[in-house]
Amino acid sequence: MVLEFILIALITGWIRGGGLRRLTDLTIESWYLVIVSFIIQSSLPFLSSLGLLGFRYPLLVVSYMILIYALIRNKETIGFLVAAIGTTLNFIVILFNGGMPVDTDGLGSEAVARLASGADGIHVLLGPTTRLSILADIVPYPLPAPFGGTASIGDILLGLGIFLIIQTNMVYYGKHRK
């Protein structure tokens, strides 16, 4: 869902007269921590495939703590603050459930089996024992493959934060010179 928000933000910024060059002026405190967090999360399916499921949850928690810290370091920008709130909501539901619960309505049997096995390293099945299910991946967004799926309230806020960051930095808001 994050990629969709980035794409929509770039298109919207371009329509509003913004330029990609302006994004180069964006300064992000502790930007490298965002990359570290994504590397950790990207490695989780690989670790799961090696049978190292015991490392999945602790690494997922650490990656979220790193990401939230990096976003909060940039809280002066409203987009980073919104993204931090969304990420924190995702982190809370992950803490209570051992992973991000996903509603399986509309998922194929192969996807459900993958979630049940813990193969992706991040998501778990939504069920009757799921705590804080309102924060889980329960909001469907029916887009053509591979973009469709479900999202959480946290995902939506994270995406909105990214949208605001791109808009704020891509579109010029100052006085125009004559």
> Residue 145 — pLDDT band, cuts 50, 70, 90?
low
Number of folded domains in the chain?
1
**Burial (0-12, 13-18, 19+ Cβ within 10 Å), 113:** exposed
Section 164-175 average pLDDT: 84
User: Distance between CA atoms of 162 and 61, rounded to whole angstroms?
Assistant: 21
Section 154-173 average pLDDT: 92
Q: Residue for token digits 């804080």? A: 132
User: Distance between CA atoms of 46 and 64, rounded to whole angstroms?
Assistant: 18
Q: What is the pLDDT of residues 80-137, one digit of tens each?
A: 999 999 999 999 999 999 999 999 886 777 878 888 877 778 889 999 999 999 999 9
3-state SS assignment for residue 19: coil
Instruction: Say yes or no to pLDDT of 160 above 90.
Output: yes
Instruction: Say yes or no to pLDDT of 176 above 60.
Output: no
Work out the number of other CB atoms within 10 angstroms of the CB of residue 47. 16
Pairing, β 149-151 against β 123-125: unpaired
For residue 25, give both structure tokens: 């002026």
Domain membership flag for residue 175: no
Section 171-178 average pLDDT: 62
- pLDDT of 47: 82
Name the pTM for this structure.
0.88
Q: What is the pLDDT of residues 21-38, one digit of tens each?
A: 988 888 999 999 999 999
Domain membership flag for residue 26: yes
Domain membership flag for residue 176: no
Domain membership flag for residue 178: no
- pLDDT of 115: 80
State what percent of residues in the chain have pLDDT above 90. 62
3-state helix, strand, coil in the chain (%, to 5): 60, 5, 30
Instruction: Say yes or no to pLDDT of 56 above 80.
Output: yes
φ and ψ of 89, to 5 deg = -60, -40
Domain with 40, as residue range(s), is: 2-170
Domain membership flag for residue 14: yes
* Beta strand ranges found along 14-122 (DSSP E): 100-102
